Each structure stands twice: as structure tokens, then as C-alpha cells.
Chain A
Amino acid sequence: MPEVQSALPIAICVIPAALAAVTYPLARSARPLGPILNLIGAAVATILAGAIALQAIGGQVLVSLSRELRADALSALLVLVISGVSLAAAVYSFSYMRLETLLERVSGEAGPEVTKRRLASFYALSLAFLTTMLWACVTNNIIMLYVAVEGTTIASGLLVAFYWDRRSLEASYKYLLLLTVGIAFALFGCVFLYASAAHYMPEGAGVRAMLISDLPEVTAHIPHGIALLILAFFIVGFGTKSGLAPFHAWLPDAYAESPGPVSAVLSAVASKMAIYALVRTLAIFFPVAAYHPVALLVVVLSVFTMLLGGVMCLAQDDLKRMIAYSSISQMGYIAMGFGLVGLGFGGAAGYLGAYGGLFHLLTHVLSKAALFLAAGAIIYTTAGRRMSELSGLARRMPVTAVAFFVAAFAISGIPPFNGFWSKLTLYLAAAKVELWWAVGIAVATSLLTLIAFVRAGYQVFWSDGDSEVAEPGVRDAPAAMLVPMGVLAALCVVLGIFPQLVHPLLDRAARALAGIF
């Protein structure tokens, strides 16, 4: 791949960061500025991400700052979805963060001054969160990858605790503590990897031992024992951040207790950034055949994750917690694809695994963001989130209902939605390396997901129990909330019917990951 010097990777990190820095003081002095700056930051990032993606489709790898930042097709896909979902969430926040019950819950006894401060920090932290996620996806430095990933935890910790009540504080405490401990393992892995790579790099090239793109040159020389330890640390560290079982304990709490737009960003893209970090670091070792058992371990963990998430999904009554458990399950599918990359590296199975994993990543981004935004709309209009207390909302909230069902079918892998193609690719990849048990469990889990979502959707939108929350006055959410949700759901349909639209980018990214050029 030809590497081209470009300022785009710098710009996509620096512009949102600069906006984040000025947002807090500006939004404190004039409240409407908060959402506007947030929107500008996300929109600029989306445009820049689009430009990076176009270059990547053209076969170019963008580098800057003496290759400290590097954006190949895989990074391009990630920055595109991260900024796209952040843009949708920013539009959505315009109405959602003005909700009166929300503002009452925030201010409590503290008064309007606290609310103002809290809202200003909400927008500033949203932009900081976006910045750190984008940085994690374009950095080429193994230590800075850790710094950026931990940065996302720091930026989002107080977003999870936004309401500052018992539940959200508990969620935020678990989130910060478990993720920091988990990521400490990843840092240990990064330090060990850097130390050993620096030793085996040719004389005078020690600095390159930090560059992720150059590390595969020396992996064959790293002693087997330490390499296994490094891989284990990466799986625990970045696996915790991605929500892989059994390191997922923080996830349902954090996703369910955050405000709607934050839930959507956390679930749809923050988890993808984490799994990107995991696969980027594991892929350093994939070319060496001796580490294929580690790839099998990743497949086993991810199959366990998808099954556990699918089963727990059925046991939930809280709408947002159910969607959160479904996220865990879907992360399992994506991780399975990436595990298969290692098993079939350089061959068709590896390519299919990478393609399926990335396609499902895209599917999950679109459908899960739509689902969390739909759940947010339901909370916005009814103030209820227990499914047993909701009923018959389809007539009052038709747009939300359609978006919810489209996204739910997409995530369950029903044709003609995008999830069908991505899951099919994953099944084919697993079948190619003859992991039939994995195929079986993956298909069964898809059924569980379908059952959980149809049950939830029926209860919330169609059943006509005597609901206390669905008062006659309930109407669908404002346009600023419906439009992002609708666009995401529409993309699920479009990519289901025309999956070839995303093929150029997915193909390049899958090739980069699977070592096929």
C-alpha cells in the first residue's frame, strides 16, 4: 500500500479537540452554543472522515507526523462510523437534552445554575469523547493507542454519571473502575510488546518499535512465552473495553443509565473503537502461525459472549438494559469474525472473517444506534422504560415504531436487512474453517435475539394492556430526534438491498486486516 503524507489525520483529531476546549466556557455563558458547537464538531469530523474514506478506497494510506498517525482503510471505516453516529447523536441532543423531566432530574434540589453547568460539560465532554475515539483509530503508536483508549473512558465517565443520582453514579463508578483496571492490563501488554520489539528491531530503528504498522516485522523474533502473555493482556484489556464476556459486568449499567444520545454513542461506536484496538494489536501477531491457538481462544470467547448476551437479553424488563445485553451479544459476532482472521490468515477464510466482522460492525453501528435512539424517544415521550409498563405506542409513535422494528430485524439477521448479509458472511467464514459448533451457536443466538426483540416490540408498541404511561396525550418525538433515528434505520434497509454500496471500503479494510494485498 502506498503511504501518502496528509494533514487529514491531524485535522480530524485537532478540530474536535479545539472545539471541545472552547465549548465549556462558551456554553456556560450562552446556553444555546453548547449543542451548536457539538453539532459543528461532529459535522466537521464526518466530512473529514468521508475524505479519508475516499482516499482509502483509492488504495492510499494516509500518514502524518512522521507516521505517528496513520489511516488505512480499516481506520477510515472506523472514523467514518464514529463521526457519523456522533453527528446523529448531536442532532438528537438538540431536543433530548431539552426534555423537562430530564432537566428536573439533573437539577434536583441544586437549582438551575447546576443544570447549566452540567449541560455545558455534557457538550464539552461529548466532543472530547469524539476526539479520543477518533484519535484511537488513527494513531499508529502502540503506547498512544493505550492513552487514547483510556482517554475515551475518562471523557465518557462523567457522561455516564450525567444525572448524578444513585443509579447513574453506581454505573459510572463501575464503568471507570473496571475499565481502568482492564485497560491497565492492555498497557502492560503494550509496554512488554514495545520493550521486546525495541530489542529486536535493527540497530538505530528502535523508535519504530512503537509504530503498530512496523511491529509485524519483528513479531517472529519475540520469544513465544512473552508473546502469549502480551496477547493475553491485550485480550483482557481491550476485551474489557469492548464488553466481551466475562469482562462485561460494567456494560449494561453504563449503557442503560446514560442519557439517550450517550447510550447510542457508547454502544454503537465506543465499543467498536475498543474492538478495533483489540484487532489492531492482535493482528500484529496473526502472520505468525504459532499464535493461531490464540485466535481460536478469541473465537471461543466471542461465541460465549454472543450466547450469554442473547440469553440475558431475554431476561430483561428494562428496555435499555435489554438493548445493552443485545450489544454484548453482537460484539461477540464481530469478535468472532476477527478471531477467524487469525485462524485463516492470508487465505479465503481469513478474508471472509474480516469482511464479515467489519460488515457486522457496520450493521451493529447502524441498528444499535437506531435502537438506543428509539428507546430514548420512548423515554422522552412516556417517561417510562420498563417494558411491562409500556404498551400500544405504535399508533402514537409510528415513526419510532418503524425505526425500532427495522433496526431489530436488521440486528437479528432477517432479510432483506443488512444484518442478514453480515451474519451470513460470518457463518460462511466459520464454516470455511469447519468450526461448526460456532456456526450452530451463532445461528441459535440470532434466533434468541429475534425472539427478544419481537417480544419487546410487541409489548411496547402493540399490546393493549392498561398502561399507566401511555396517556392519550403521548405523541411521537420531535423531528430533531426522529430524523437521525430514521436515517439510521433507512440505511439498514438500503445496505440490505444494496450491500455492494459499502463493498469498496469493506474490501480494502478486510484485505488490510487479513493480510491480502
Chain B
Amino acid sequence: MIYNLRLIETLSLIMIITSVAAVESHNLKRAATAYCLQAVLICGLILAFAVENPALYVWAAVALVTKAIITPWLLLHYISRTGEEEVRAIIGFGPSVLFASALLIACYTLTHRYVHFLAPTPEAAQGVFRTNLAVSMTVFALGLYAILSRRDAIKTVIGLCLLENAIHLSLVSLAPATPETALVGIATEVVITVAMLLYVIAGIREQLGTTDTFELSELHW
């Protein structure tokens, strides 16, 4: 194996930091930037894996275009129309950071320790793959936390992007031999979904004057 293990591990761990930044930043532009940084990290990770498997250069290019360029551009475009300040979350900044840290530590430790339960193959339970799997689960959990705890619609979309990044990370580290068609399908679909959600959110903003999802109360049970 000729992977640069230290590099992969470092990049993967920085992904967690960018996730926390994307979830906790109250300024949506900064959150989107943190997300963009995370996408660049994923591209770096894929490139590090590509040393072994040249087909992954295509993946890196696709991820760069869809995740690091188009998605942040869409986010920033809509944020400039709906306002930079996030609608207050259901929990305050202090408790939220505490909760996110606890979630992060718990999720990472648990998935790292009990990796044999999670790992689809024996290799995935070892070394860098183990780190990647734990990081992927942690980023997924942070994304879900953002979706569940944030009132701002744009922020929930950022949470959704984190979920997708987590899956992408596990895909590249667990199944690097996946054909390009599958990858391109997944990547483009995420971009289209995000674009469509932001389009609908812009419509909501037009009608309601806010992106606060708590104001969406016309329809209940």
C-alpha cells in the first residue's frame, strides 16, 4: 500500500472541525464557506487515494465541481437574497457547542472502538479506513443534529450537505472501485436536490418574509 496514511488521516479529521464550524456558525455565509472547505478536503482525500487507483482522479474532479464549486455558489447566491444572519436555533450557542462536542466525542469514540460491528470488510476495520469510517459516522451525526435543531431553512440544507459528504467519504474509502457512472449519478443528484430545495426556500421567503421553519405552520397533522 502506498497511500499517504498520515495525510489521509489528517484530512479526514479536519473534516470534523469543518462540520462543527458549518453547524455552529451563526453567519450563514461563514457556514457555507466551512462547507466549501470540507468539500475541498474531500477532494484532497480522494486524490490521496487516487495514487493507488487512477480512476479516482475522475471522482476528485466530479467532487470538486459539484461539491466545492456549484453547491457553495448556490448556497451563497441564495444567502445573499435571504440574509446572512441565521434564524435563532432552538438551543443557544453555548449549549449547542457543548452538545455538538459531546455528540462528536461520543460518536467518534463509539464508532472507532466498535468498528468491527460497522466495518463491511475486514480491511475497513483497520488503520486509515477505520478513521475514515468513524469520521464519516461523526459527520453524518453532526449533519443530522443540524437538521433537527436548526430553525433556519438554509441551515438545514447545509446539514443535508454534511450528510451527503459523510456518505461520499465512506463510499470513497470503502468502495473505491465503484464505477464512475454511479458516482456521477450520486454527485449530480445531490446538487440538483440542493438547488431545488433552495429554490423552494426562496419561494417561502418571498411568501412569508422569513426562512424560519417554525413559521411553516399552515399544515399540521
CB within 8 Å of B: which residues of A? 141, 143-144, 146-147, 150-151, 153-154, 157-158, 161, 164-167, 169-174, 176-177, 180-181, 184, 187-188, 191-196, 198-199, 206-207, 210, 222-223, 225-226, 229, 252-253, 256-257, 312, 315
Contacts and interface: CB of A to CB of B under 8 A. Distances in A.
A194 B176 CA distance: 11
Contacts of B153: 173
A188 B189 contact: no
Contact of A184 (B167, B182, B207): B167
B193 interface: yes
Interface string B145-169: 0010000010011001001100100
A398 B203 CA distance: 40
A312 B221 contact: yes
A151 B189 CA distance: 7
Contacts of A198: 121, 175, 177
A144 B177 contact: no
A279 to B, nearest CB: 22
Contacts of A147: 182, 185-186, 189
Interface stretch (B19-27, B32-40, B194-202): B194-202
B130 to A, nearest CB: 14
B102 interface: no
B70 to A, nearest CB: 15
B119 interface: yes
B174 A157 contact: no
A191 B201 contact: no
B120 A222 contact: yes
Contacts of B119: 223, 226
B196 A154 contact: yes
Given A166-B208, A176-B197, A181 B163 contact: yes
Interface in B84-141: 116-124, 140
A340 B160 CA distance: 34
Question: Top 9 nearest A-B pairs by Cβ distance?
Answer: A196-B120, A195-B174, A225-B117, A199-B121, A147-B185, A143-B182, A195-B175, A195-B120, A170-B216
Nearest to A312: B221
Nearest to A191: B171
B124 A195 contact: yes
Given A169-B207, A170-B219, 4 more contacts: A150-B193, A180-B193, A180-B197, A188-B170
Nearest to B196: A157
A93 to B, nearest CB: 22
Contacts of A191: 167, 170-171, 174-175
Contacts of A174: 216
A173 B200 contact: yes
A176 B189 contact: no
Interface string B19-56: 00000000000000000000000000000000000000
B83 interface: no
A208 to B, nearest CB: 12
Given A172-B200, A176-B193, A176-B197, A188 B118 contact: no
Contacts of A206: 177
B147 A181 contact: yes
B10 interface: no
B167 A153 contact: no
Contacts of A226: 117-120
A315 B220 CA distance: 12
15 contacts: A143-B185, A158-B196, A165-B207, A169-B204, A170-B204, A173-B153, A177-B156, A181-B144, A184-B163, A187-B167, A191-B170, A223-B116, A225-B118, A252-B221, A253-B219
Contacts of B160: 177, 180-181, 184
A505 to B, nearest CB: 30
B143 to A, nearest CB: 8
A187 B167 CA distance: 8
A102 to B, nearest CB: 18
Nearest to B197: A176
Nearest to B120: A196
A226 B170 CA distance: 14
A177 B196 CA distance: 10
Contacts of A180: 160, 193, 197
Contact of B219 (A167, A199, A229): A167
Contacts of A192: 120, 170, 174
A378 B219 CA distance: 21
A495 to B, nearest CB: 33
Contacts of A151: 189
Contacts of B120: 192-193, 195-196, 199, 222-223, 226
Contact of B178 (A194, A199, A225, A312): A194
Contacts of A169: 200, 203-204, 207
Nearest to B207: A166
B153 to A, nearest CB: 7
A206 B55 CA distance: 16
